[in-house]
Structure 1
Amino acid sequence: MSDALLTFVWYPILVLVLFCAVLHLLLVSPWLPWNPRPQLWWKKTDYLWLFLTCFSILGYAYASQRSYAEIAWESNFKQLFNAEQRLNEMADSLVGRLCGNVARRTEFSPPNFDEIVAQTKLACEHSLKMKAAVSTVLERRSRAVSSTFEPPAELTDRVHLSDQSLVRDAYREVVRRQDDDAGLRKLKDKGAGELLLLFWAPYMLAFAFALRITRATADVLFERGRN
């Protein structure tokens, strides 16, 4: 049996039975040596059990929110880990492909060889900037400047632009999932007051129900006394 089932179901049921027994024994038992509480006193208990019920509902809402945040955070964290790995591999591959080859002019070189070399060099420099930005965001120190992922105007080679746009898209996915991770962590990690309310919510609800059941018993006894 899971701890959550014990905490939020079976323990509160046991507390409800215990509170009902104690309240009936102390307040409405026909074997009491003193008279039962007056009916007006019982009506005032409505404020207490309604107050406890409202706070217990709020505690259950916190518990539901926390449970959702934990599930969503675990799912997002796995996807974030995969996205970061994919981004790092893409950035390394891009730098290796653009900066690893040194072109030399030969008799078979095309007429626009110098232009191709210049474009490749420019793409290499830009990919190195992107790699630095990727390293920064993977270490979660800060966000890279968005202009780093905008290709320079001089870069017109469509192959280079296509490769770098893939890295840029992967980078944006990582940033988005990191933002989601931070937001879900805040929902998952409740404050001390919220955790306290979350823990006591089932027992407050059990006491509120026990008080209302005891009040109903007292009403029945009052009606019998009138008749």
Structure 2
Amino acid sequence: MRSFYLTLLKYKDHLLFFLAVSLSLVFLLRNESPDIYLIRGKSIDFFSFINSPLAWVKNMTQLQKETELLREKNIQLRLQLESMLAAYEENNSLKDLLDYSRESSYELLPAKVINMGISSNISSITLNVGQKDGVTINQAVLVPSGVIGKTLIVGESSTLVQCINDNNYRLSVRIYPSSATGILRHLINDIYEIRELQKNAQINVGDKVVTSGYSKIYPENLPVGKVIEILD
């Protein structure tokens, strides 16, 4: 108690000043004279002016939080959109494979690419099927648009495929309707050339290119592509 009294004595001037100001404000607020109304208005203006920077900072802080939330939501929506687009593309791909399987007279095994080009010496892909699925070496690999390669190395549950765009890849093909045959090899990008054609073969731009059936790997008439240019 003694320390409490000593503290009161030490800060008595401050306490008296605070008490006096408080009582003055009470009397001012209870007074209804025009002068008091004017003082009240000035006081409100003063405190509003003092409070404006604080309100601005508070609004900016809230705005920053809302911006961060919107940015996070935008990222989430973009990820959801990418996921939906990927699922849509995969669904279309599976639909094309299913339609091709129904139209084809061959026994087909669906597979998924799980790796691209594990070796720099060969253009290749890796599929998620292998010996346990009945895959063997030197089997044709197709997509709905046509031949893309052959099985090269077969594991228990995965298979390495040599792609048709590999520099060492050769494919015996036939061109319809002329039935001219030749050897197809990769040239550049998605362009291939067919060599060893008969000189008198009647070939036109747009003619269909299919497998010739001379190879034990590829049955005849598997789609390969179409003629886009004829060179002498």
TM-score by length of 2: 0.30
Greater relative contact order (CA < 8 Å, ≥ 6 in sequence) = 1
TM-score by length of 1: 0.30
Specify the structure having the higher radius of gyration (Cα): 2
